[in-house]
Structure 1
Amino acid sequence: MSTNSMQELDAQAAPPIEDITANLNLVQQALAGAQMLFVAFGALVLMPLITGLDPNVALFTAGIGTLLFHLVTKGQVPIFLASSFAFIAPIAYGIQTWGIPATMSGLFVSGVVYMLMSYAVKLRGVDFIHRLLPPVVVGPVIMVIGLGLAPLAVNMAIGKAGDGSFVLIEQNTAMIISLSALLTTLLVSTMAKGIFKLVPIFCGVIVGYTLSFFFGVLDFTAIANAPWLAMPNFVAPEWNWHAVLFMIPVAIAPAVEHVGDILAISNVTGKDFVKKPGLHRTLFGDGFATSAASLFGGPPNTTYSEVTGAVMLTRNFNPKIMLWAAVIAVCLAFVGKFGAVLQTIPVAVMGGIMILLFGSIASVGLNTMIRHQVDLSNARNLCIVSVTLVFGIGGMAFGFGTFSLQGVSLCGIVAITLNLLLPKMTN
């Protein structure tokens, strides 16, 4: 998931900066694209591994989604799209409750919601999103995304399945592996220089995986049995209105964060992408990519702020670089042994990294409210934030028959409803 909080909608782009990649030949562009994919890789594959989706499918849909985004935005924005962490809990619940095909139908409609929001932005302007989804709504919803996943991260870090139902790795061994992966990720995030600072997740996985090998908790059978070339395990969606109604509200937080991501890349490149190609086009591209991913059984796509950081560091402003990254991702999706290697990553490794990752998501929500000076001494704001947080973290659910609304979906609806219904107050 993108970790940029929503910025002021009227932010101005920075002065133009020289693009050092303007004259690269095709080979150099391809290498630069591979570097961008490398930056996004850790988060890209972690999401499907957590939720039980196929990482090769995620690679394929990230590549296809990025290509579709660039088609919609006329190849003007140096952006790479990949797996959105905002959907982890809803996807995990959806797969457990209705199965992967039904969950994909909900994700398809979530993408359609993005596209409808893009049309609203085109008709009513960028401020439409800010009025409908102010920081007092978005902040606590994003916090719920991170904090609601905390038990999942802890269970996996101590060697259990995500729901804690059974033990996969002995706890002491799991703790050594998970805390080593976490510590590596922390150190690379805070102390590394250059391109390494942008790949803390990847570094954490490498250290955790290496320790797992020495502790004898790796099983290489799947790698040995996997063919070199194989078709990803594509899954077509099957309509399920329960999954659709459950998944639609989840699109709220990523759609709003998309605004912050576009403003960030605008500031990095010195071009105002909110005006050209327009926020309505970039938002539509995000939604189009998400709906397209669901047709293959892949996770929803979102703009990656890690890649924005790499663009800033390397000054690779040429959008063609992202097209190369997308093509390479699609090609890797058909390497069977590559996907098998990813699926051998132990739960303890993923759990250690997720402790930081999910905490970071929650921090983004908190920072959203701080940056926009949400006054919690105001009773109205306090009510919205308090109810949203307790509903989300406490596991509140509403339902009838076989349909249940809970988690991020419920929190999004509750926060928006309270914001619309509660009267404005002044201190």
Structure 2
Amino acid sequence: MDNNKQLSVFQKTTVGVQFLFVAFGATVLVPLLVGLDPSTALCTAGIGTLIFHLVTKGKVPIFLGSSFAFVAPIIKATELYGLAGTLSGLVAVGLVYFLMSGLIAWRGAGFIRTIFPPVVIGPVIILIGISLCGTGVNMAKENWVLALSSLITAILVTLLGKGLLKLIPIFCGIIVGFVVAYFFYGIDFTPVAEAPWFALPKFVTPAFSWEAVLFMIPVAIAPVIEHIGNIYAVNDVTGKDFVKDPGLHKTLLGDGLACMVAGTLGGPPVTTYSEVIGAMSLTKVTDPAVIRIAAVTGIVFSVIGKVSVLLKTIPNAVLGGIMLLLFGMIASVGINNLIHARTNLGEPRNMIIVSLTLTFGIGGAVLQLGSFSMTGIGLAAILGVVLNLVLPKERKEEVE
């Protein structure tokens, strides 16, 4: 099905760099949006990918990059608990993966779908997208010319792009917006010129915070389900069954460890990248060694000091234009999740779960217990899970 055996070491390296190029835009966009160092994110994505391959015995061709699911929670948690406290919450995200890994090893993958059906996951994904729309608009309105330049480019690449180009609309949008900013508004490259060629990423040490831990843990529900879906997608691309070998519990364990390491070093949580899976489908190259080359290349880029400084010169309006499309697309994925599963919203039980999950999340409901508080996506996710478990099902639904 693939041409892995026909590739030389040089060809595998070339394809590996291409795969990193596909993941690059999204991986560095997350830290730029939440105030983390993009070089740290590149480094932790590379290290996390290597950890994942170590745990899965090098069998699964998966690249782990920065997770957009945590953008809004990181911004809010940083306001409440500071960056160091927030990072402790991101480290704890790995515990959710460990728990799911243990449950799947014990009861099988079907057990997870019972706890997190589409009627719960769909609204949570919708919230992840909707919660960021205001931030995107505020950044875009700083300069609508730059915002629309990046937005229109990303749309055109998504609709008209061919091959690998179609997989990097974010990267293309940022490049065009940056070029427009340079020629028409000017960009100060003095910090780039002054930056050293070699510099370690800015690692930040977490400071333990119970509030931040409990704030972040529920958010991990959506990425866990995304992980499971992407493993099945890789199965389709490679023609192999990684759910059985090395096992879904192993892939979740590897992802969880990668998230913990990322948080410990000051990077955002990582998640399986469907963009790279799409690139494998196009190139027919599914050798896990190629993904590991992409990971190592990401680590090398992370220690080039000028890269991080250059990325920080990208105007906010350019990033805002990308966000207008990106976070709307995330919300659309949640809607598609409900449609694909044929969730009947005319059914009172489903309507109640979806309605309350969205209302609590969008409305900013807060659960306050002493000094501890929970709000936003985390609270909405827990509410959806609880409602799904306690609300009675109709007989017809139980039969199905």
TM range (shorter): over 0.9
Same amino acid, percent of matched pairs = 54
Name the residue aligned to 2:279: 310
Name the residue aligned to 1:23: 6
Shift of 1:260: 0.7
3-state secondary structure, aligned to 2:368:
strand
Correspondences of 1:141-152 after superposition (within 5 Å): 141-152=124-135
Q: Judge which range, 212-221 or 42-51, deviates more.
A: 212-221
Shift of 1:236: 1.4
Residue 137 of structure 2 is aligned with which of 148, 154, 158?
154
> Structure 2 length as normaliser, TM-score?
0.97
Say whether the 8 Å CA contact 1:62–1:326 is kept in structure 2.
yes
Shift of 1:216: 2.0
Give unmatched runs, 5+ long, in structure 1: 1-16, 160-173
Q: 1: CA distance between counterparts of 2:373 and 2:71?
A: 17
Q: 2: CA distance between counterparts of 1:354 and 1:217?
A: 22
Name the residue aligned to 2:357: 388
Can you list the C-alpha shifts for 1:20-53, whole angstroms capped at 9, x where unaligned? 1223222221111100000001100000000000
Residue 100 of structure 1 is aligned with which of 83, 92, 97?
83
Correspondences of 1:26-425 after superposition (within 5 Å): 26-159=9-142, 174-425=143-394
Q: Judge which range, 235-244 or 92-101, deviates more.
A: 92-101
Shift of 1:220: 2.0
Q: Judge which range, 239-248 or 397-406, deviates more.
A: 397-406
Say whether the 8 Å CA contact 1:217–1:346 is kept in structure 2.
no
Q: 2: CA distance between counterparts of 1:45 and 1:321?
A: 21
Q: 1: CA distance between counterparts of 2:95 and 2:195?
A: 36
How many residues are matched?
396
3-state secondary structure, aligned to 1:78:
coil
Q: Which protein has the bigger helix share?
A: 2
Amino acid at match of 2:37: D
Q: 2: CA distance between counterparts of 1:232 and 1:207?
A: 26
Q: 1: CA distance between counterparts of 2:353 and 2:194?
A: 52
Amino acid at match of 2:360: F
3-state secondary structure, aligned to 2:6:
coil
Shift of 1:402: 3.6
Q: 2: CA distance between counterparts of 1:100 and 1:70?
A: 29
Q: 1: CA distance between counterparts of 2:279 and 2:5?
A: 16
Say whether the 8 Å CA contact 1:378–1:425 is kept in structure 2.
no
> Structure 1 length as normaliser, TM-score?
0.91
Q: Judge which range, 204-213 or 99-108, deviates more.
A: 99-108
Say whether the 8 Å CA contact 1:45–1:83 is kept in structure 2.
yes
